Amino acid sequence: MEENQTPEVSQLVEPEITPSQTVSRKEKFIKEVKSFTWIILSVLIFRSVLFEPFKIPSGSMIPTLLIGDFILVNKFSYGFKVPFSDWFSDPIYLTGPKQPERGDVIVFKYPKDTNLNYIKRVIGLPGDTIEVIDKVVYVNNKPIETKEVDGKKILEDMDDRYKSYQFKFMETKTGSATHITGVDLGNDYSANYYKFTVPKDNYFVMGDNRDFSADSRRWGTVPFGHIKGKAIAIWFSLSVPFPPSDEDEQESFKFRPWRIGTIID
């Protein structure tokens, strides 16, 4: 290199963006936004009219459903709805609708606060009379068919908070559904319920865990328009305990893989 000669310095050169490239980027962005919007809309429509997952937060449906069960709800069991029509009011049906059957496990908007979702079993249809005498449920003056069963395995799966109670488990026939119900022999609070006639377009519902369920015996019936769908299967089951209070015992972590795929009857 000759003296006083300035060495060449490499320079970065920014390529010039042409108008056509700007349009191309804009079109690509719009296309991606449209695709994302359609994906979100499709998922929302799927959840609104076809199937929707829910998690069981309480023990009112033990032993059919345990705390931490993740369930799938068929949203078109009683007819196809106009998408999103049940978000702010009663749903608009495109087909049907047909009424739930006695024994169906349904998810519905809680009549006292429609922002909350509840799950119970249909016991009484419109026009039915319901009565509970000494923990036996009568429908139209006939007792629901029951048979006592061994509850040892059921107690093993149940959350620890319930294991100190005097449970009696019954194989129960409600409509076409055969399921297990439980009563606490040490609890006489809900042993009886006066005879009641279910109003038109309403349903009387109860939890399978009879003495630990706030249901139609306490807050009334469920209007048909509040029903979101029928629970059909358990697709996962995991109970993660909350930190206990001073009076509570520590709950244990429960993963129940054997419940995955269980059909809800």
Which residues are catalytically annotated? 60, 120
Are 210 and 242 within 8 A, CB to CB?
Answer: no
Phi, psi torsion values for 4, nearest 5 degrees? 65, 10
| 212-216 contacts at long range (C-beta below 8 A, 24 or more positions apart) | 212/59, 212/60, 212/62, 212/162, 212/184, 213/60, 213/61, 213/120, 214/60, 215/60, 215/120, 216/120, 216/123, 216/124, 216/130
Q: What does the block give as tokens for 34?
A: 């449209």
Inter-residue contact 1 to 7 (CB < 8 Å) = yes
Length of the chain: 265
- Residue among 106, 139, 121, 103 nearest 207 (CA): 121
Within 13 Å of residue 99, how many CA atoms lie on the same side as its CB?
16
Q: Which residues contact 173 (CB under 8 A, 6 or more apart)?
A: 144, 145, 146
202 φ/ψ sector (left φ>0, alpha ψ -120 to 50, else beta): beta
Q: In whole angstroms, what separates CA 149 from the centre of its chain?
A: 27
The tokens for 214 are 């706030």
